Amino acid sequence: MGSGVPKVLMPLGGVPLYLHVVEAVSNLDDSFRIAVVGYQSSLVRQSFDESGIGYRIVEQSRRLGTAHAVGIAIRELSDFDGQVLVLYGDTPFLTSKTVEKLLETARKASGIAVLGFEATTASHYGRLVIDEDRTLNRIVEFKDATPAELRISHCNSGILCASGAILRKLLPYVSTDNASREYYLTDIVGIGRARGIRSVAVWCDEEEAVGVNSLAELVQAEALFQRQARRRAIAAGAILTAPETVFFSLDTFLAAGVRVEPNVVFGRSVRIERNACIRAFSHLEGCWVDEGAIVGPYARIRPETIIGRGSKIGNFVEIKASEIGEGARIQHLTYVGDTKVGSNTNVGAGSVVCNYDGRRKHRTVIGENAFIGSGTMLVAPLRIGHGAITAAGSVITDDVPDHTLSIARGRQSNKPGYARRLPGRGDNSE
């Protein structure tokens, strides 16, 4: 798409495009999943490895068309005669319900099931030519269609299902006799018809068939994804006070009763439990917020963070890789990293956990019912005991025992009249 990044790795809903397709088939009870990769295949392989989703990767080094790609994949299924579902990594809105319907139709028809839709604007899509008995006669690609065929509103999503036996039988007969000089998978419908193999169209909503082929279409797809995610969240019982300003990732979970104020962004792997409140202009990723907790406004919650039940995380607070105990309070202008904060502990305004020494991150543990005075610097590694107190403005470098007050700051010294003797300060200074 002109970005220098493989299309299927472009982000949609906070995750690579192809992971939406993976999600649509995640509930299928099967044992063999194949991904055919081509352009910048090493990057795509790396993404699959990092995702840990267990697909076998095969490479299409010469990209000669969709039938060519499926032909490479089918070699991995030489003894498999069950249903083979062919999906595309740039079609992110397919639902699991439609996938199951497609599989069931292919089984009942003992033939080929093709996913089609009625297009509002048919545009560049291939057309499904349907006979009077509702059998799918053939699929004609946009570039090869006649003016009469282009007036057909039945459009092809590209997604289909057929048995391994049927695919092995028909793929060798696919040719490049078309405008693009490619091996079209869609040709197996007509080839199969000539050999007595029936094809049936299965219909889905146009939104499910949306493909992403340009940066402009990616922007449109993101807008569609966010609209769908907001609708799902509200239907599940979340309260979004300004839905159009809240942004979700593919795996965002909001329980019933969660309240989300305007301009909140959910990155990957966020789970918010019942009756929690995420206040305005907060950004969360890789975290779990327990029941009744309050986060924000203007809070940033980073990965590997747990916010305990009923705790309060206030404005301009950043928390990373930390566990915040039940009922704890971190209300203002504070950074907490690599830290365990005990239940009912208060961390005062302007406090910082100094967890990084320039080479390594270090751990801090703060006990229950502790009180960290405003402006405290906690220099990790460090342990603050249960019920301990640090005086405001302290720099704590040593462990503080339970129920101990720790004061670590220079003694104040007042010098009367000295301010007037400083450069630029005279008797008439204001």
- Concerning whether 332 is annotated as a catalytic residue, the answer is yes
Q: Are 217 and 90 in contact (CB under 8 A)?
A: no
Q: Catalytic residue among 68, 332, 362, 386, which?
A: 332
Give the integer Cα–Cα distance in Å for 107 and 51. Answer: 31
The secondary structure of residue 308, as a DSSP letter, is: -
Contact criterion met (CB below 8 Å) for 16 and 23: no
Angle between helices 17-24 and 96-109 (to 10 degrees): 60
By CB atoms closer than 10 A (0-12, 13-18, 19+), residue 347 is buried
**Phi and psi dihedrals of 99, rounded to 5?**
-60, -45
One-letter amino acid at 379 equals V
156 near 129, Cβ under 8 Å? Answer: no
Q: What is the DSSP letter of 243?
A: G
Tell me the C-alpha distance between 353 and 55, whole Å. Answer: 41
Q: Which of helix, strand or coil describes residue 74?
A: helix
Locate 218 and state its tokens.
Answer: 């990616």
Report strand pairing: 287-289 vs 283-284: unpaired
* Residues with a known catalytic role: 332
